[in-house]
Amino acid sequence: MTEQILHVTGMTCDHCAASVKQALLAVAGVSRAEVSYPDATAHVEVAAGTPVAALLDAVRAKGYGAEVSGGACCGTAPKTESRLSVAIIGTGSAAFAAAIRAAEEGAAVTVIEGSTVGGTCVNVGCVPSKILIRAAHVAHLAAQHPFPGLARRAPALDRKALVAQQQARVEELRHAKYESILETNPGITLLRGFARFEDAQTLVVSRPDGMEKRLTPDRILIATGRAPQIPDVPGLSGTPFWTSTEALVAEDTPAHLIVHGGSVVALELAQAFLRLGSQVTLIARGRLLSKEDPAIGKELKATLIEEGMRVLTDTTVQAVRFDDQSFELETSAGLISGDKLLVATGRKPNTAGLALDRAGVKTDTSGAIVVDDHLRTSVPHVYAAGDCTNAPQFVYVAAAAGTRAAINMTGGDATLDLSVVPAVVFTDPQVATVGLTEAQAQQLGMETDSRMLTLDNVPRALANFDTRGFIKLVAEKQSGRLLGAQVLAAEGGEIIQTAALVIRNRMTVADLAGQLFPYLTMVEGLKLCAQTFSKDVKQLSCCAG
């Protein structure tokens, strides 16, 4: 028997050392293995003729680096200080949150990006869309506000100037929140190119100059986000349709915009263009916001129709034609023509080009990477975070996931708790939700009690002369514990976090009804709705406690 001494990199705790030991003991010819995390060494007793390569491969298969130590055969190998190496594919919110935290923990971080730094949110998602929506809201108020003593007039529209302002703010935020971090954080290096797996340990990065670079990091985080999902509709491919990316930077306002889709992006942009002067026809395969309480989609549809939008629900698109000037859609509701077509029928994970099968990283049927609550994939040293995973597609979830993935990649133990996830759709009125709907709670076997309060019972809504929408609360019947809230209201996004905190702290509707809320505020509507579980709020005075 002889002893081999290996230098092992990438271990971050004693659990890692135990994992390496188990891998070494599984190699034929190994009779003993002692692995030290502090010394980064493995002392392995092997039978004569046992190939060293088998030992190195066993360690590397667990996601750690390994090489034969330069120390004496039977002596103690000197401790070698080495930084944990982390490669992150992508530069969006999840990627940057992870990169910053991993660098803080002492890792050497390489972020890999083949396109624009910053990902979806700052470049083509949250930031530009909310600027567009806000501008459209201001235009709508100028022309349609509810105060007869103020002259109403449609503002003159300079779409090119609006886009220039919007994109200037996008560039400003991209530099402040992303590019400047790369410039000033010595622990993070940007590598330009597109990454794919060669095997579980190796990334191949195809660089812009045509060369390829191979990386064998100790840990890998996949944070590649999502892209628009284009439906397989005959005739659509090859036409100059818009996705949200093109719509947001279009410098001309369509005379008639057709929007194909019935969820978040479709609804937000359809209403924005309507308010900027376009005729808009929206075509949805099912009902609006089909994953939400049916009352939300029903009332939002009525609001959009009242505002002037043509809304076709439960309608299929059967074919698309374009004649160099206009689109013509064959639908189950008849022919629809318009000069622009926006396709917003969902988003797909950016995982197809990663060669995940070569690494053994599992995905679901949509191509999303399956992760656990520690953001681990099916491969021990490979993690994933953000919209490319099976987690909810919100930027704040992505950022939280990225931070927790970095903690875990560097030896910590952090979980991503998705039990309370508030969400907002920035239509007007806004859709804001958290927790369970009645149907979801009942599917889980819970007996529920619920109340819906229309906004004509909320003093602030009356003062605003805008009583569109409602607040609905779902409670567990026996305990009264709040399970969920669904809000359709102007500034609903500013209301929902209060409900989220109530759910997080396992408060009852009676607890909520007894809280002090400032008057006049829209969030007071939560208190009023909670009071309806035991009172008739129409019989209460203002500020009734």
pLDDT of the chain along its 545 residues, tens only? 788 999 888 776 777 788 899 999 999 999 999 999 888 899 999 988 888 888 988 888 777 778 887 543 333 334 344 789 999 999 999 999 999 999 999 999 999 999 999 999 999 999 999 999 999 999 999 999 999 999 999 999 999 999 999 999 999 999 999 999 999 999 999 999 999 999 999 999 999 999 999 999 999 999 999 999 999 999 999 999 999 999 999 999 999 999 999 999 999 999 999 999 999 999 999 999 999 999 999 999 999 999 999 999 999 999 999 999 999 999 999 999 999 999 999 999 999 999 999 999 999 999 999 999 999 999 999 999 999 999 999 999 999 999 999 999 999 999 999 999 999 999 999 999 999 999 999 999 999 999 999 999 999 999 999 999 999 999 999 999 999 999 999 999 999 999 999 999 999 999 999 999 999 999 999 999 999 999 887 777 666 66
Structure confidence at residue 74 (pLDDT): 36
What pairs with residue 322 in β-bridges?
327
Topology at the third CATH level for domain 2-68: Alpha-Beta Plaits (3.30.70)
Torsion of CA 478, 482, 487, 489, to 10 degrees: 110
Structure confidence at residue 544 (pLDDT): 61
Nearest to 308 by CA among 277, 337, 338: 277
CB 381 within 8 A of CB 220: yes
Q: Which residues are catalytic?
A: 11, 13, 16, 64, 121, 126, 542-543
Considering the chain, tell me which residue range(s) the CATH 3.50.50.60 domain(s) occupy: 86-228+348-409, 244-345
DSSP E strand stretches across 396-479: 423-425, 430-435, 448-454, 470-476
CB 283 within 8 A of CB 306: no
DSSP E strand stretches across 369-499: 382-384, 423-425, 430-435, 448-454, 470-476, 482-489
Query: Pairing state of beta strands 203-206 and 470-476?
Result: unpaired
> What span, in angstroms and rounded, lies between the C-alpha atoms of 315 and 286?
7
Torsion of CA 427, 515, 394, 168, to 10 degrees: 60
Structure confidence at residue 73 (pLDDT): 38
Looking at the structure, give the CATH architecture of the domain made up of residues 244-345.
3-Layer(bba) Sandwich (3.50)
What percent of the chain is helix, strand and coil (3-state, nearest 5)? 35, 25, 40
Please name the residues in contact with 118: beta carbons below 8 A apart, sequence gap of 6 or more. Answer: 91, 92, 174, 177, 178, 179
Give the 3-state secondary structure of residue 501. Answer: helix
What pairs with residue 330 in β-bridges?
319, 335
Structure confidence at residue 494 (pLDDT): 97
Looking at residue 290, its amino acid is S
Topology at the third CATH level for domain 423-539: Enolase-like; domain 1 (3.30.390)
Structure confidence at residue 543 (pLDDT): 64
- Between the alpha carbon of residue 333 and those of residues 120, 247, 304, 458, the distances in Å are 34, 25, 19, 39
Structure confidence at residue 398 (pLDDT): 98
Rg of the chain over all Cα atoms, to the nearest angstrom = 28
CB 110 within 8 A of CB 87: yes
The class of domain 86-228+348-409 in CATH terms is alpha beta
> What span, in angstroms and rounded, lies between the C-alpha atoms of 281 and 335?
12
Considering the chain, tell me which residue range(s) the CATH 3.30.390.30 domain(s) occupy: 423-539
Give the 3-state secondary structure of residue 101. Answer: helix
Structure confidence at residue 39 (pLDDT): 82
CB 356 within 8 A of CB 348: no
Which one-letter DSSP state was computed for residue 47?
Answer: -
Structure confidence at residue 70 (pLDDT): 54
